Amino acid sequence: MRQIDNFINGEFVASSVGRRFEKRSPVDNRVIASIAEAGQPEVDQAVTAAKRALTGEWGKLATNERVDLLYQVADEITRRFDDFVDAEMADTGQPQHVMSQVFIPRGAANFKVFADIIKNVPTESFHMDTPDGRGALNYGVRVPKGVIGVVAPWNAPFLLMTWKVGPALACGNTVVVKPSEESPLTATLLGEVMNKVGIPKGVYNVINGFGPDSAGEFLTRHKDVDAITFTGETRTGSAIMKAASDGIRDVSFEMGGKNAGIVFADCDFDKAIDGIFRSAFLNTGQVCLGTERVYVERPAFDRFVAALKEKVENVKFGRPTDNGVNYGPLISQEHRQKVLSYYAKAKEDGATIVTGGGVPEMPGELAEGAWVQPTIWTDLQESSAVIQEEIFGPCCHIRPFDTEEEVIELANASDYGLSTTIWTDNLTRAHRVAAKVDVGITWVNSWFLRDLRTAFGGAKTSGIGREGGVHSLEFYTEMRNVCIKM
């Protein structure tokens, strides 16, 4: 069993109050790690270390030197690739190929891409006319914002944590990371990488624990945390925003979604089936960008439902490293209860269960894991909680539509506004619909195709602010203007 401590000022430290909590495997519910819970003293130490590091060796590095170090972080992650894949698989129970092809390589890329951006992006400059005819020159200077509190979720732990730590460090900040209590392993491993490549002490810190009245709240309430970047549930964002208002700290929030998939009858049918299958069931449906509402143009509806059903019924359950496995458990028993409560609600609300709807029979030790069947429903009213609320599980509802106007209205009838995926061979229509769907990210004939230079974030209750490319620099730096009279 792994012993996981907090990582503060370059050292692994236990909890001063001696509190530890257990991490259980989603696959079979065995205890796989004992985690030291950070109390207020550890959070104070981590924030103090981060603040001190801003003016120490780290704060004195030239941009090029900082960029070189971040490249070394990425290279060391790649060198220890298998350790990261193993740790992430242990935490999430998700198939090995998802970790090794998507989540861990993206973690390494998050350091390189933002190092490149900070090196290459210019700041603004304006020449200004003045009454004496000599003019003035204005130019922008970017400075780090300071100590950044990073609060991360469990669904793609390493990708989502480094997506914030990478740009924060590239901009010269220091960070205190609070990984999810469900997925602490890779954030801890990254501490070893930071030490190995010589990132100065205090630049990267990790405190473990829960949200309210624990490490999450202690961090977000801390007066020396200058800005908070958070990914997680919208309800949690609301609590963090209240904490951040004390001291008027800046926030960047990436939160929940109830994303619509829109399938027009003129699409490439097989590609649409593959795309919607991935968007609804990858990572056992635990992707914020995932599709839980699918709208299919009526002429293609029956064929679409039948084809998606067939694909879903062919998923292979099993341990992450078992041959051919492409479907894992949910993250925890607690999350399984939540997902199953929506399965029950769908029944209660009169859904037709096309496939799934329950708990699969798993052999041996796997019977103790957090497994649920991938599920498709039809025939629910749009007002059902199953259609309105984020379930964050392997399930979707499919409904037919007749006109473009109707489907746009259906897609927008949500408090959330994170992403959408549109399937059509009519590009004119794709542009038209994309412009009208009220979300932060629209994919056409694709899903989760990510260019890290693009703006990422949600509309409505799905987020505040954008990260990615230069947008990350907007959040992770303070822009100063210098005006020089000629």
Residues serving a catalytic function are 254, 288
Nearer to ligand 6OD, 301 or 416 (CB): 416
Among 6, 25, 180, 421, which residue sits at the site for ligand NAD (rule: CB under 6 A)?
Answer: 180
Among 280, 288, 370, 391, which residue sits at the site for ligand 6OD (rule: CB under 6 A)?
Answer: 288
Residue 178, contacted partner among ligand 6OD, ligand NAD, none, CB below 5-8 A by kind: ligand NAD
Among 151, 194, 287, 376, which residue sits at the site for ligand 6OD (rule: CB under 6 A)?
Answer: 287
Instruction: Please report whether residue 163 would count as binding ligand 6OD according to CB under 6 A.
Output: yes
Residue 390, contacted partner among ligand 6OD, ligand NAD, none, CB below 5-8 A by kind: ligand NAD
Q: Report whether 46 contacts 8 (CB < 8 A).
A: yes
Q: Say whether 75 sits in a helix, a strand or coil.
A: helix
Strands 204-206 and 375-378: unpaired
Q: 234: closest CA among 29, 464, 432? A: 464
Instruction: Return the ∠ at Cα 81 (arms to 67 and 277), rounded to 5°.
Output: 105
Phi-psi region of 258 (alpha: psi -120 to 50; beta: other; left: phi over 0): beta
Rounding to the nearest 10 degrees, give the CA dihedral for residues 22, 257, 205, 479.
-170
Residue 419, contacted partner among ligand NAD, ligand 6OD, none, CB below 5-8 A by kind: none
Q: Where are the beta strands (DSSP E) in 236-370?
A: 250-254, 259-263, 291-297, 352-355
Instruction: Please report whether residue 456 would count as binding ligand 6OD according to CB under 6 A.
Output: yes
Instruction: Please report whether residue 453 would count as binding ligand 6OD according to CB under 6 A.
Output: no
Instruction: Please report whether residue 465 would count as binding ligand NAD according to CB under 6 A.
Output: no
Q: Say whether 211 sits in a helix, a strand or coil.
A: coil
Among 43, 151, 187, 444, which residue sits at the site for ligand NAD (rule: CB under 6 A)?
Answer: 151
Nearest-angstrom CA–CA distance, 36 and 225: 22
Q: 305: closest CA among 381, 376, 406, 380? A: 376
Q: Report whether 107 contacts 159 (CB < 8 A).
A: yes
Choices 32-40, 152-160, 240-248, 319-327; region in contact with ligand 6OD by CB under 6 A:
152-160
Residue 450, contacted partner among ligand 6OD, ligand NAD, none, CB below 5-8 A by kind: ligand 6OD
Nearest-angstrom CA–CA distance, 12 and 4: 8
Choices 61-69, 216-224, 265-273, 373-381; region in contact with ligand NAD by CB under 6 A:
216-224
Contacts (Cβ under 8 Å, ≥6 apart) of 278: 447, 448
Among 156, 240, 331, 339, which residue sits at the site for ligand 6OD (rule: CB under 6 A)?
Answer: 156
Q: 23: closest CA among 471, 333, 483? A: 333
Q: Name the strand (E) or helix (H) holding 23.
A: strand 20-24
Residues contacting ligand NAD: total by CB under 6 A: 32
Among 2, 97, 429, 450, which residue sits at the site for ligand 6OD (rule: CB under 6 A)?
Answer: 450
Nearer to ligand 6OD, 45 or 231 (CB): 231
Among 77, 98, 307, 418, which residue sits at the site for ligand NAD (rule: CB under 6 A)?
Answer: 418
Q: Report whether 353 contacts 346 (CB < 8 A).
A: yes
Q: Say whether 8 sits in a helix, a strand or coil.
A: strand
Instruction: Please report whether residue 37 would count as binding ligand NAD according to CB under 6 A.
Output: no
Could you list the residues that contact ligand NAD (CB under 6 A)? 151-155, 160, 178, 180-181, 210-212, 216-217, 220, 231-233, 236, 239-240, 254-257, 288, 390, 392, 418, 458, 462-463
Positions in the binding site for ligand 6OD (CB under 6 A): 155-156, 160, 163, 287-289, 450, 456
